[in-house]
Chains A and B, each alone.
Chain A
Amino acid sequence: MAVCTGCSLLCDDIEITEDEEKHVHTACRKGAGLFLEVNDKKHKVDGNEASLNEAIETAAEVLAGADNPLIYGLDNTTCEAQQQGLELAREVGAVLDDTSSFCHGPTLQLVLQGEVKSCTLDEVRDEADVLVYWGCDPVNSHPRHMSRFSYFPRGEKRQHGYEEDRDAICFDVRPSDTAKICKDNYLQVPPGEDMELMSALREAASGKLPKTGFDKKKVMKIAQKMKKAEYPVVFGGLGLLHSVEIDELKSFLNDMSLRFMPMVGHYNMRGLNQLLLEEVGHINRLSFKDGVESGAEYSVVNQLREERPDAVLVVGADPVVSLPRGGAKHLHDVPMVTLDPMDTPTCRASKVAIHTGRAGIGTAGTVVRMDGEEVEMEAIEDGWTSDEEVLKMIREAI
C-alpha cells in the first residue's frame, strides 16, 4: 500500500497495479493524478538541462551571494527536509516563511499551543457525533475526509455511521458539494458574517432566541445539536479564518466545548509549523539575519511586496501560481532556486530548477498529518533524489 500526499489526510490505503498502463485504486481524483503524473526528472539551470552537481553548485552560488535570501515553502516535503531547510536558513541568515503565513497559520497556532481543544482523525472516526464543516469544502479540498474519517464511516462508538450516529453541519457562503451532503443542516453565511453567526449560536445554545439576521429557527436547531453533542468537532477552512477575529473564535470554541481542526491543505505544513515552534518558538515569518526574529514584516507577502529578497529558495511550494499575481511579480526579478517533483511555473521562472522525489513516491521520510499523527513514508519509485539530500548538498557546497 502506498501513502498519498495529495492533501494532509495522507491516505495510507492506496493500491497501485500495472499492466499495459498504471492503475491507481482507492485514491481520490487528485491523489490518483499524483501517482499517474509523468515527469522527466531533468534539472535545469538558466532554462538549459543541467546535471544535479551543476544545479547544486549554481544554487549554492545564488544563496551564498545573496544579502537577503528568502527560503519559502517546505510544506510539501518531509520533516527531514524541513530540518535541513531550517539549518540552511540559519547558515545563510535567511528569512524563512511558508504557506501558513497567509492561510491556516493563526488557527493551527491555536491548536499547536493548546489554546483550543483538538483531536486526531481516528478519534473523529471513532467518537465524533456532530461534525461542523465551517468555511471549508472537504468534498473538494480533502476528498476522502468524510468517507474515511468524519461523516460516513463506522467508528468504535459510532457503529451506525452517518445514518443514525452522526450529524453533519455546514456553514458556508455558498451551497458547496459538502453543503449538499449536510442537507437541512447547511446554513448560508454571507461573506464576513461569521462573527454574527458565532454570537447567534452562543445565544441559541444558552436557550435564548438569538438576535440575528440568520434564520432563527435553524440557528436554534443547529446550536442545540452542537450543545447536546457528546463529541462535537469543528473543521475550519479559510472561509472561517478570513471572516473572524482569532481571539473571538478561540473563546467561542472553548465556551461551546467544541474541538477544532484546521483543514490544512499542504501535506506536511503542520510538520513544519511544529518544528519551527519547537526550535525557535514561532510557527512562521522568521528572520535569521541577526539572531532569530519573527514578525509580520517577515511574511512572504510583505517581503515580496517590498522587494526585499535578492535570492529565493523554494521547496515544495509553487508561489508563482498560488500567490496573488501582483505579489508574485518580484519572483521573476530575482534569482530563484526551486526544488519540486513537477515542472511548475515556479520552476520555469527559476534560475535553477531541481526535480526531487515526492514523499511516498520517489522519497522516503516522515510526514505529519493534519491532526498531528506522524506517518512514515516509503519510496515506491527508484531514481529520485530527495529534497533532504539536495538541501544537504547545497549546505555542503555553501
Chain B
Amino acid sequence: MKTFISAPKLEATLVTRRDVFQAGAREENGHYSEEYRRLTAVVELSERDMKNSKIKDEDTVEISSPAGKVVVEAHRSEKVPKGMAVMPNGPWANVLISANGPRPEYKRVEVKIKPTDREVLALEELLEL
C-alpha cells in the first residue's frame, strides 16, 4: 500500500540572481544587518510549486543540493516559472553551489526543497566567523 506523502519534497532547478535592494542593504547597512539577511536568505518559488509542496509564503524551507544544505525563507513570486527556484546571489545560495567543476555553477543547480522548523542562520553562524 502506497503511503500518502502529505508534504512532497519539491525538486527544482536553482538559479541565482542579482537584487538591487539586497545590494543596497549590504552597502549601506553591512553584511551582518538584519535587512541584508532578510533580502538574501530567501528562495522565490512559483505559486503552483508552493501549493503542490504545501509551502506557504514566508515559511522556512530547507534546500539541499549535492554541495550542501541551507535554511532560508520561501517567497511566492510570479517572476519564477514552475520547476525553478530563484535565490539572490550571496552566502546562503553559495552553500548550494558546487566548487568541484571547472567553474562554479551559479545558474543551474538541481535542488530539493522541503518545509522545516529550523531557523535561518545569521551570517556569522553560516560562515563560521
Q: Show the binding face of A for B, using Cβ within 8 Å.
A: 6, 28-30, 32-34, 36-37, 102, 135, 137, 139-141, 143, 173-177, 188, 191-192, 238-239, 242-243, 265, 296, 299, 301, 304-305, 320-328, 332, 342-345, 348-349
Interfacial chain A residues near B51, Cβ < 8 Å? none
Interfacial chain B residues near A325, Cβ < 8 Å? 67-68, 91, 94-95, 97, 127
Q: Are A143 and B28 in contact (CB under 8 A)?
A: no
Q: Are A191 and B15 in contact (CB under 8 A)?
A: yes
Write the B8-40 contact mask toward A (1 if CB under 8 angstroms, else 0): 000001010111110111111111000000000
Q: Are B26 and A323 in contact (CB under 8 A)?
A: no
Q: Are B24 and A174 in contact (CB under 8 A)?
A: no
The answer to the question of B2 belonging to the interface, with a C-beta cut-off of 8 Å to chain A, is no
Residue from the set B98, B103, B108 with the largest chain A CB neighbour count within 10 Å: B103
Q: How far is the CB of A200 from chain B (nearest CB, A)?
A: 19
Q: How far is the CB of A393 from chain B (nearest CB, A)?
A: 27
The contact sample of 28 A-B pairs, CB cut-off 8 A, is: A6-B23, A29-B24, A32-B28, A33-B24, A34-B28, A37-B30, A137-B17, A140-B20, A174-B15, A174-B79, A174-B81, A175-B79, A192-B108, A242-B108, A301-B103, A323-B94, A323-B99, A324-B98, A325-B67, A325-B68, A325-B127, A326-B68, A326-B98, A326-B99, A326-B100, A342-B27, A344-B31, A349-B129
Q: Are A137 and B18 in contact (CB under 8 A)?
A: yes
Kindly identify which residue among A137, A174, A323, A345 contacts B129, using a CB–CB cutoff of 8 Å: A345
Kindly identify which residue among A143, A173, A188, A305 contacts B15, using a CB–CB cutoff of 8 Å: A173
Bound Cα distance from A274 to B84, whole angstroms: 37
Given contacts A33-B28, A37-B30, 14 further A-B contacts (CB under 8 A): A37-B28, A102-B104, A137-B17, A137-B18, A173-B107, A174-B17, A174-B80, A174-B86, A296-B102, A301-B103, A323-B99, A332-B128, A343-B31, A345-B91
Q: How far is the CB of A104 from chain B (nearest CB, A)?
A: 11
Q: How far is the CB of A333 from chain B (nearest CB, A)?
A: 11
The answer to the question of B47 belonging to the interface, with a C-beta cut-off of 8 Å to chain A, is no
CB-CB under 8 A for A173 and B23, given A243-B107, A304-B99: no
Q: Are A238 and B106 in contact (CB under 8 A)?
A: yes
Question: Who on chain B is nearest to A102 by CB?
Answer: B103
Interfacial chain A residues near B95, Cβ < 8 Å? 325
Question: Who on chain A is nearest to B106 by CB?
Answer: A238
Question: Who on chain A is nearest to B91 by CB?
Answer: A321
Q: Are A29 and B21 in contact (CB under 8 A)?
A: yes
Q: Show the binding face of B for A, using Cβ within 8 Å.
A: 13, 15, 17-21, 23-31, 67-68, 78-81, 84, 86, 89-91, 94-95, 97-100, 102-108, 123, 127-129
CB-CB under 8 A for A30 and B80, given A143-B20, A345-B123: no
Interfacial chain A residues near B20, Cβ < 8 Å? 28-30, 139-141, 143
Bound Cα distance from A32 to B25, whole angstroms: 10
Bound Cα distance from A28 to B25, whole angstroms: 12
Question: Who on chain B is nearest to A240 by CB?
Answer: B107
Q: How far is the CB of A139 from chain B (nearest CB, A)?
A: 7
Q: Are A242 and B106 in contact (CB under 8 A)?
A: yes
Interfacial chain A residues near B25, Cβ < 8 Å? 33
Interfacial chain A residues near B129, Cβ < 8 Å? 345, 348-349
Q: Are A324 and B104 in contact (CB under 8 A)?
A: yes
CB-CB under 8 A for A238 and B23, given A176-B79, A305-B99: no
Interfacial chain A residues near B108, Cβ < 8 Å? 191-192, 242-243
Q: How far is the CB of A205 from chain B (nearest CB, A)?
A: 26
Question: Who on chain A is nearest to B70 by CB?
Answer: A325
